[in-house]
Structures are given as C-alpha cells and as structure tokens.
A and B are shown apart, each in its own frame.
Chain A
C-alpha cells in the first residue's frame, strides 16, 4: 500500500492517475467491507467524478492539490452535501445534509477522493463502535476484537488498506484510542485548529477533528490541509494553517520530554514497557528525558463524564422529530418528541443524555457540573505547570491492546476507563498524538501518546517521527 504522500506525488507527476488510485481503494473496500463493516455508505459515483476532475487538472497542467488522487474516508458524523450522514443513529437514518462541513470542502479542494462515510459509536459516544445502531466494525488486524472508538470505522479503513487516510473526531480519545488499537498514527489537534463547522456536535467544548494515517508524514500532510481559521466556526483559532510537514524531520535534540506517571498507571505491563522504551528512544535521539507526576489528571475521567454528557444533553435536544431525521407520530407534539427520541436513540446515547440532564438539573448543578468545571481549571493549570518544566509529555494512549467484542459492554464505566489517558488533553483543549510503538499480546499494536500544549503540533510530529523510526519504520 502506497502512502498518501506517494500517491499525491505519483498523481501529480503523471506516474499514476487518480482514477487508478481510486480503483485500488474501491477494490480493497469491496474485498473486506462486508466482513469488517467499515463503511456505512460508499460513494463510488462521487469519488469517480472527483478522480476524473483531478486527472483533468493534471492533464491541463494545473495543480490538483496536496492530496491529489488520495482516497480518503470520512467519519459519518461530518456532513457531506447530499450524502447520507447518520452519526450511526436511527434518529438520522436517511438524512442527507444540505451543506458540507468545512473539512469536507477543504479535502475536496486539495484533490482528495472521498470514498465514503465510516462507522462509529452512535453520536461518537463509545470506545469500541459497539454502540453503532448499524452494527460494530471489526478490527482488521484481528476481526474478533474491536477497532476502538468512537472513530473505529475510520481507523479500520486505514488499517485494512482501504484508504491511506481518514478523518475522525476526538472528544475524549475517539481518534487516538482507535489509532492505538489499529496500529495507526492518530492526532487530536489543539481545540479550534480544525473547523467544526459541519461536524455534528457531541460535546462542543471538547470536540475536535483530526487525521488517521499509517505514517507520521501522511498525518501531518492531512492535518495541514484541514487546519486553519474558518469564519463559519466561531471557536476556530484565528491563524491560518500551521507549517507541519516541514518540521516532521526536525528531531528532538535538546527537547525536554517528561513521562507522566498518571498516564501509565493502571495500564497493562506490556503497555508500560512500551512507553518506557519510547522514552529511551527519545533520549537516544537527543531529548532530555525525565519522569513526573501530575496528580490532577486522576480527576479527568470524573470531570469528563459529567461535562461531556452535560454538553451532549443540550446538543442532542435538537433531535425532536421536527426538522430532520426520524419522526414517530403521536397525538401531540410533546408525545411525538418523546416517542421519536425513545425510538431513535440507542442505550448509550440515552445514558449520556440522562447523565447530562441530571448533572445540569436544579439541585445537582453545583455539586456535579459546577465542580467538574473547576476540576477542568485545575487540570489546565496543572498542564501549564508541567509545560513550564518540559516541552512534551509522554504516556500510554490506552490501558491495553485491542479488546474482544462484548468485553466491556455490560459495564459502561469499564468502557469509559478505556479513555482514561486521552481525556485530559480534551479537557485542556491541548494537542496530542498517538503513534504505534511495538506490539503486545497476540502481536497486536501498542500506541504511545505524546502530549503538548496548544499549538504544539509541529513539535509533536517531530517527536512522533523519532518514535516511528525507532520502531523500525523508515
């Protein structure tokens, strides 16, 4: 399988064509989509039209863009005009958005071929894709195990060589965790770096779109295309897209990297060992390494599982059977709202709406939601103190390698614990990257996580590239 950078280079030079690259991708999708359930919708016609456009630009001598002819998968919680967008929920089944997300527009403008919409946990709530209303996605590396979630379909698309790139969204780890479980590079960019316009909201102060790729350079290439200010998203950072690809090979000489005790505590021994070896690899490459403790991170899970459901309960109030999606008829409007939501939402979405509604309700607001917002402040301050001492932090991405189907579905809290190492970055609005580093049980990949302050993506890619090379990928 060629990297995205190779494909774009071949298509631009005429050594290959977008049409040819698309054919390879669609063949891979046809071969395994039924088994793995990666895509909820494959848009062959649209992708073929896009490939024809790219090839025509090349023929004319025009620049087709940084992702010329690169097949790409989009998580099905991002709007693409006229293409079914479901959030893996019955409540949006059949809906075709009348507009496209800014990321979708930017990808098309860069010459990417959008081949389809990938499966996810319903409304991005989950860590395994088992909460999809349309059935789970299987991990291409071991189909008896989950691919992680919530962006499990996007991760599986890349891991199964269906597309070299995919985009997902990360509210508490939904890019990094499946990236780790599928042996990929996954990035949660700084809050506001990538426009959320057209991303169907889950928890608006935490959601962020980011890339999946097999290589660090591919991930940087994709992030550069989708990042940068967008007037359609009022939370978008004011500056244009940063220069990332140019810094991928900057190395880590002289950088201070701290291994965080709270970001490995409770992980399987093989994961802890991998993180230890990653620290050594960074030291061998010239980083100044240290170990530190940030006790405030221990409260991340508790704060997150009040803040995210609280925001979700508000965001999901819009699914009321009036403007789009499902309606279950009833005698009056209130009964119709209730019947629609009861039939349209799955169990996990209901749980989170309930949790959030409770945390925001009179009498409990201060004790739960209010307290969680203060813990969030403490976490931001604690990260800031840590970044006074070191440039980047290192930890595990997930406590274990990919787990089996059903292993965590009966106890929601055990599923929530899958995100214990990834959540703090979302609460702080900062950036982190998961990069494969070694393997564990049954030869399955282990992901290690590098964390940095807001706008530290270039440094994160440099450090991730060092680990990629140390792990034997030139």
Chain B
C-alpha cells in the first residue's frame, strides 16, 4: 500500500519543527509515520460533523488569581542554567541577517 505521506511533506514538516533529517531518516520517517497515519485512517471516514471536539477532559474554565507581586525564581540561578547569558539576559546568536 502506498504511504499516505509523501517524502517532500516529511521534509517540509521537519523544517517546520526545526529538525534536520538525513536522507536515510527522511526515507525511514516517511514509511513509519505513514504507517501511523494509515492506522489512523479508521477515524478519517467517520461522520463526526455533529460531534463537539474535546481538547481537554473536563470543561476547564479560566483560573485566575489576585494580581499581586509574589516571589519568583531567582534570576541568577535560572540564568546559570542557560547555555549563554549576558547582562542578566539569555544570549543567542544573531537573529537578523547582515545589511545588504
């Protein structure tokens, strides 16, 4: 049976998910993810137009609290666990490209 998933789609999804896959991984994932989607096809054909979707087991309502200042995590302790931190902030490689 042909996979419900095309290799190009897997490559595109990997890009969305910020993962780079080797050629072999692309082949393997196309096959394996295809099998899972194939299994899920038992669901696709159901007529569920009148069924309400459940994103959460109990109908949650918003939980609010008083807007008051409370102690939070120690900044230095949190930043100490970061791969790179400068001047009390998380530091990352450059975000913008070079000026043309």
Contact = CB atoms under 8 A, between A and B. Distances in A.
B51 A412 contact: no
A368 B37 contact: yes
Nearest to A82: B77
Contacts of B21: 342, 350
Contacts of B92: 322, 333, 336
Interface in B24-53: 25, 29, 32-33, 35-37, 39-40, 42-44, 46, 48, 51-53
A336 B97 CA distance: 14
Interface residues of B, number: 50
Contacts of B2: none
A361 to B, nearest CB: 7
B40 A368 contact: yes
B82 A324 contact: yes
**In the complex, which of the residues A301, A326, A358 has the most CB atoms of chain B within 10 Å of its own CB atom?**
A358
A192 B57 CA distance: 10
Contacts of A306: 40
A242 interface: no
Contact of A98 (B9, B20, B58, B73): B73
Contacts of B46: 299, 371, 374-375
A439 interface: no
- Determine the interface band of chain A, counting residues with CB < 8 A from chain B: 35 or more
Contacts of B55: 205, 373
A371 B48 contact: yes
Interface in A67-107: 95-96, 98-99
B37 A234 contact: no
Contact of B43 (A326, A331, A347, A371): A371
A324 B20 CA distance: 21
B13 A354 contact: yes
Contacts of B9: 358
A313 interface: yes
B60 A235 contact: yes
B19 A338 contact: yes
Given A338-B19, A345-B19, A378 B51 contact: yes
Among A95, A353, A454, the one with the most B-chain Cβ atoms within 10 Å of its Cβ is: A353
A303 B57 contact: no
B42 to A, nearest CB: 6
A408 to B, nearest CB: 13
6 contacts: A96-B81, A323-B78, A327-B83, A331-B93, A341-B17, A341-B19
Given A327-B83, A357-B17, A428-B57, 17 more contacts: A192-B58, A205-B55, A331-B94, A332-B93, A338-B19, A339-B20, A341-B19, A342-B19, A351-B29, A358-B37, A374-B51, A374-B52, A375-B43, A378-B51, A412-B36, A413-B35, A454-B57
Interface of A: 95-96, 98-99, 191-192, 205, 231, 234-235, 298-299, 301-303, 305-306, 313, 320-327, 329-339, 341-342, 345, 347, 350-351, 353-355, 357-358, 361, 367-368, 370-378, 380, 411-413, 416, 427-430, 454
Interface of B: 5, 9-10, 13-14, 16-21, 25, 29, 32-33, 35-37, 39-40, 42-44, 46, 48, 51-58, 60, 63, 65, 73-74, 77-78, 81-84, 90, 92-95, 97
